[in-house]
A and B are shown apart, each in its own frame.
Chain A
Amino acid sequence: MEKKDKKVLVIGVIGADVHAVGNKILYHAFTEAGFEVVNLGVMVSQEEYIAAAIESAADAIVISSLYGQGELDCRGMREKCDEAGLKGIPLLVGGNIVIGKQKFEDVEKRFKAMGFDRAFPPGTSPETTIQALHELLD
């Protein structure tokens, strides 16, 4: 297979979530940082991330969730990736991924148990995510 010059990311806001602003900011930040970004926008289903990742031979999937239902929406994502032949693809998630005051360490633990490589708390700057992407992909 020929080598791609840029790493490919598939990004989007999962579930019945229409928060579009952060998604646009991430798109620009990731593009600026030298990634090829496939932006699926808002209200993205697990299947849509996976289909886009297959066609674009993505290097990672970055999921945003801003409305507190992230844990429900993300359940089974890793298994579906495995099923679709995207074995081991890095999965990152961030935003307001759970409701209420919870210790983020616990939240992170739960997402890691679900097969996510990274989970980020509210208020994470794009730079932090970019840093993590480099760690995972370089």
Chain B
Amino acid sequence: MKPILLIDFGSTYTKLTAVDVEEERILGTAQSYTTVETDINHGLEKGLALLRERIGFSEFEKTYACSSAAGGLRMVTCGLVPELTGEAAKLASLGAGAKAVGIYAFQLTEDDLEEIRALKPDIFLLVGGTDGGNTECILHNARVLASMKPEFPIVVAGNRTAARECQRILEGLEVHVCPNVMPKFGVLNIEPTQNKIREIFLNRIVQAKGLSRAAELLSDIMMPTPAAVLQAMELLAQGCEEEKGIGDLVAVDVGGATTDVYSIADGMPEHMNTVFKGLPEPYAKRTVEGDIGMRYSIGGIVEAAGIDKISRLSGLTKARATELVEELKVDTERIPNGDPELEALDFALASSAVEEAVTRHAGTISETYTMMGKTFVQEGKNLTGVHQIVVTGGSLIHTKNTEKIASHALFSPQAPQSLRPKKADVWVDRTYILAAMGLLSSYYPGTALRIMKKELEYHGYSE
């Protein structure tokens, strides 16, 4: 036996997964409740004690961890044109597992600075201009940033012509220079920046977020939890040398405060008569909907779906649904626990959350008539050909209706412009192992993949 411990430090739970990599199986899992205020190490000790009770020991050969504790990795980005380098910066930070708490474009103003000061980001990503293109904006923004003497590190990944000068302007601060996120018009190069973001996260954030004591226990790698999940999803889709993947996929994690969507697919137009517009998106793409969540962001779901739809899906009257939603806004810890009304409401909320979040993640197609006949214009990723959906999150795990909820991720004839998967197999991560398997995949990709294939529960086929 070769036991390895995988830890996910969350903002409310510390989740532990013990794996035997020799037999390729999960030995056991444990969860312990930790509030933001209590020491994170306390949660870890409690979790370890619980795990020991279950599996009989707590000595491991290696320990790896990811974290979204204390608000996760909070980033502010600033680009030049919002749809171009601004978007590239956002894609880079989300893909690195960060939460984009502030997104700016063009020249930063004094008001922006005040906001940024209040936001207190963990990392600031400064970009703008293609290589050889505009330098004015990024230099201006570097000067403005320098004037506020920030304590957060700044990653500069804009026009290479301006990189050195930015560094000079920001001298005395923690500055990291990376290759341009958009070296040429319409070409993304976000991986070097993402690697740098993770590196900074590892070195700096871990200490700042009270994880240093826990870090002593760790053998290696510490990454933001969403980055671990993205890594797991890439592996599950693509496979590795020794084991085949399941193919292109979409994954949805409906949480209490946010809903994360991952897609592992190329997503380019399927037909010759389709013109692609906008930035080509990354093969492994992550988006976060900060206003879509089952409890803290319950208002956002209702606003997006409309109370009519919530009432129709839940079978509750509009008045009753509204009443319950108001209660849950305050009582965020409340779970259905067998209460049929709450179960029905959570079903409606989760279905709407999945539908809204995947719709925002997926690309769109529109018909245009030209002199040459009908043409289609595609923006974003075409996911209609994706045949696998992976879902996780409390509201999808603790219900018998997982497949029904997940089916809301699919293409709908009512919204034909939204390029969501047409039909797909539904897989449920009932034991919350995705982040753990992402961590494990850094060292044992084949093992991580086989465990995922074993543990993910097949939950039907949806059309």
Contacts and interface: CB of A to CB of B under 8 A. Distances in A.
Interface of A: 1-2, 4, 6, 8, 16-19, 36, 38, 40-43, 48, 51-52, 54-58, 67-68
Nearest to A56: B133
Interface stretch (B36-44, B321-329, B366-374, B450-458): B366-374
Interface string B80-95: 1101110000000000
Contact of B134 (A17, A38, A41, A54): A54
Given A1-B136, A42-B275, A55 B368 contact: no
A51 B130 CA distance: 11
A38 B183 CA distance: 12
A56 B84 CA distance: 11
Contacts of A18: 275, 370, 372, 375
B116 to A, nearest CB: 22
Interface of B: 80-81, 83-85, 128-130, 132-136, 161, 182, 184-185, 275, 277, 368-372, 375, 377
A17 B371 CA distance: 7
Given A17-B371, A18-B372, A55-B85, 9 more contacts: A6-B132, A8-B132, A16-B370, A17-B370, A51-B81, A55-B134, A55-B182, A57-B133, A68-B371
Contacts, number: 71
27 contacts: A1-B136, A2-B135, A2-B161, A4-B161, A8-B133, A16-B368, A16-B370, A16-B371, A16-B375, A17-B370, A18-B370, A38-B130, A42-B275, A43-B275, A48-B277, A52-B185, A54-B80, A55-B81, A55-B128, A55-B133, A55-B134, A55-B182, A55-B185, A57-B129, A57-B132, A58-B133, A67-B370
A4 B132 contact: yes
B371 A67 contact: yes
A51 B372 contact: no
A54 B81 CA distance: 7
Contacts of A56: 129-130, 132-134, 185
B439 to A, nearest CB: 37
Contacts of B128: 55
A76 B134 CA distance: 24
Contacts of A19: 372
Contact of B84 (A42, A55, A57): A55
A17 B161 CA distance: 35
B132 A55 contact: no
Nearest to B80: A55
A51 B369 contact: no
Contacts of B83: 51
B369 A55 contact: no
B135 A1 contact: yes
B91 to A, nearest CB: 15
A41 B375 CA distance: 14
A50 B258 CA distance: 35
A45 B415 CA distance: 25
A16 B321 CA distance: 46
Contacts of A51: 81, 83-84
Nearest to A19: B372
A57 B135 contact: yes
Contacts of B368: 16, 43
Across the A-B interface, give the 10 residue pairs with the lowest CB-CB distance, nearest first: A56-B133, A57-B134, A38-B185, A57-B133, A67-B371, A51-B81, A16-B370, A56-B130, A2-B161, A55-B84
A51 B277 CA distance: 13
A2 B370 CA distance: 42
A96 to B, nearest CB: 10
B123 to A, nearest CB: 23
A113 to B, nearest CB: 26
The interface centre, meaning the residue of B128, B134, B375 with most chain A CB atoms within 10 A of its CB, is: B134
